[in-house]
Amino acid sequence: MGLAKRVIPCLDVDAGRVVKGVNFVDIVDAGDPVTAAKRYFDAGADELAFLDITASKDNRNTILDVVEKVASEVFIPLTVGGGIRQVADIRRLLNAGADKVSINTAAVHNPALVREASEHVGSQCIVVAIDAKSVAVPGTEAPRFEIFTHGGREATGIDAVEWSVKMAELGAGELLVTSMDRDGTKAGFNLPLTRAISDAVDVPVIASGGVGNLQHLCDGVLAGGADAVLAASIFHFGEYTIEEAKLMMRDAGIEVRL
Amino acid sequence: MTKTIAVVDYGMGNLHSVARAVSQVAPQNNTIITSTAADIAAADRVVFPGQGAARQCVQGVKDHHLQEVLIDAFNNKPFLGICMGLQILFDHSDENNGVDCLGLIAGGVNGFQRSALEPDKKVPHMGWNEVQQSGSHPLWQGIDDGARFYFVHSYFVAPTDASWTAATTDYLGSFTSAVARDNVFATQFHPEKSATDGLQLLKNFSEWKVN
């Protein structure tokens, strides 16, 4: 027995409200992030992730209110991502009660931010999001993955595995690996991508993107080599509970916290 | 009379989650976040948290002129160290190419080394791991032996005197995950992020009657 693999529900937040739907059967206001977070905490989630997808600058500060309220009631680690450009943004989120921040596009445009941030607040607070797609031509070349930005629309020409190694060297304490070609498909994680990155770095890897059922979570750990699995819709719509996920993982021989 | 619990702020990371969790379990107490020696000296109990790297943490204590008042609290009143607030109590840390720490507990702080035999064990050690209690202690009251707590760290303490060890955890070998003696208790894990069992430990601390 030892360290448990983590199950992390992820909530997309826009202007202080959960979007893409959370549909617990007996919650009146499913769009309230504090209510949803509390529910996941009570259900045994190991961590929570919030992704701030607010486009308008005016509404940016609403995520700070959300984090502050959640942190007062939820006593597990909170990771918050979205809209982080500089160390000051990170400090504000940590002061509001986040335990870790996830840096995405800003790391691609300004990798030095990862080093600066980890030196200021410690690597344990810095998660770097790796948004990648398979770009190899099937049947003609070995698996190859590339970093994409802007929600998977813009290719960067950066090799995802090399980039992951670089991010860990610069001070990322953890990597959130999202397969952009699987996100929203419910077809399961991109396991070769997860495995390639997990094998290449010393730091823990969170698998994300594409979970449609509980077997996918098990696959992420067993075949993908992930230290944690992140999912959104399968939990939000009540298809599966956190406990069902963990029981399935346990039965597959994975150590979990029950 | 209202008792005061001081959460020591020496510039090292998010203390609000520690203070929030303590307030939650000990609402009858006055929980304060402070970087002032006088507040710490006047407090009934002291929580000494900490995040980041050893060199910065030791420097933070010195910059805030808190070394003396912390030594006094360590020797005299219920004192709870958390994470870096455990590590820098020791003589020396291997982090940052070697750092002299506060020297209140004999021993060192060593880094985890990844093992080819256990490639799935990453560093930092991050997540929920089992805490094996070395014996009974008032702070373990209501907490199962082997309960899981949340960890995030790359270095671990190694007390010279094994009687300091209050708990061990297995990760790339067995390491000391909590220490205790007299009025002092300190954990490598984060009770403030460890759900029900973590809150129970903080509640036990807030009610701890040191003999």
The verdict on a CB contact (< 8 Å) between B150 and A76 is yes
Rounded distance between C-alpha atoms, residue A70 and residue A258, angstroms: 22
Q: What is the mean pLDDT of residues A219-237?
A: 94
Rounded distance between C-alpha atoms, residue B165 and residue B170, angstroms: 14
CATH number (domain holding residue B159): 3.40.50.880
The verdict on a CB contact (< 8 Å) between A122 and B150 is no
Give tens-digit pLDDT for B85-95. 999 999 999 99
> What residue in A sits closest to B13 (Cα-Cα)?
A121
Active site residues of A: 12, 131
Contacts 24+ apart (CB under 8 A), A106-115: A107/A167, A108/A147, A108/A149, A108/A156, A108/A158, A111/A166, A111/A167, A111/A170, A112/A170, A113/A85, A113/A86, A113/A87, A114/A167, A114/A170, A114/A171, A114/A172, A115/A170, A115/A171
Which residue of the set B83, B101, B125, B153 is catalytic?
B83
The domain containing residue B68 runs over which residues?
4-207
List of chain A residues whose C-beta atoms are within 8 Å of the C-beta of residue B150: 76-77
How confident is residue A237, by pLDDT bands cut at 50, 70 and 90?
A: confident
Give tens-digit pLDDT for A26-35. 665 678 899 9
Q: What is the mean pLDDT of residues B15-19?
A: 87
Q: What is the pLDDT of residue B92?
A: 98
Report chain A's mean pLDDT, rounded to a whole number: 91
Q: What is the mean pLDDT of residues A44-51?
A: 97
Q: What is the pLDDT of residue A55?
A: 72
How big is chain B, counted in residues?
Answer: 211
Identify residues of B whose CB sits under 8 angstroms from chain A CBs: 13-14, 16-17, 20-21, 24, 51-53, 114, 119-130, 146, 148, 150-154, 170-171, 192-195, 198-199
Number of domains in chain B: 1
Residues with Cβ < 8 Å from B136, sequence gap 6 or more?
none
Q: What is the mean pLDDT of residues B6-10?
A: 95
Of A36 and A140, the one with more pLDDT: A36
Q: Are A54 and A15 in contact (CB under 8 A)?
A: yes
Give tens-digit pLDDT for A239-249. 899 999 999 99
How many Cβ atoms are within 10 Å of A1's Cβ, its own excluded? 10
List of chain A residues whose C-beta atoms are within 8 Å of the C-beta of residue B121: 3
Q: What is the pLDDT of residue A158?
A: 96
The complex's ipTM? 0.94
How confident is residue A56, by pLDDT bands cut at 50, 70 and 90?
A: confident
Residues with Cβ < 8 Å from B97, sequence gap 6 or more?
none
How confident is residue A21, by pLDDT bands cut at 50, 70 and 90?
A: low
Q: What is the pLDDT of residue B73?
A: 98
Encoded tokens for A28: 């009146």
Which of B14, B129, B171 comes nearest A99 by C-beta?
A: B14
How confident is residue A11, by pLDDT bands cut at 50, 70 and 90?
A: very high
User: Is the pLDDT at B65 greater than 90, yes or no?
Assistant: yes
Q: What is the pLDDT of residue B42?
A: 97
How confident is residue A22, by pLDDT bands cut at 50, 70 and 90?
A: low
- Candidates B41, B48, B59; CA nearest to B82 is B48
How confident is residue B53, by pLDDT bands cut at 50, 70 and 90?
A: confident
User: Is the pLDDT at B1 greater than 80, yes or no?
Assistant: no
Of A35 and A22, the one with more pLDDT: A35
Interface test with A, best of B12, B17, B25, B88 (most A CBs within 10 A): B17
Handedness of CA B127, B133, B134, B140 (dihedral sign): positive
Q: What is the pLDDT of residue B17?
A: 87
* Residues forming a β-bridge with A78: A48
The verdict on a CB contact (< 8 Å) between B122 and A71 is no
Give tens-digit pLDDT for A162-214. 999 999 999 999 999 999 988 888 999 999 999 999 999 999 999 999 999 99
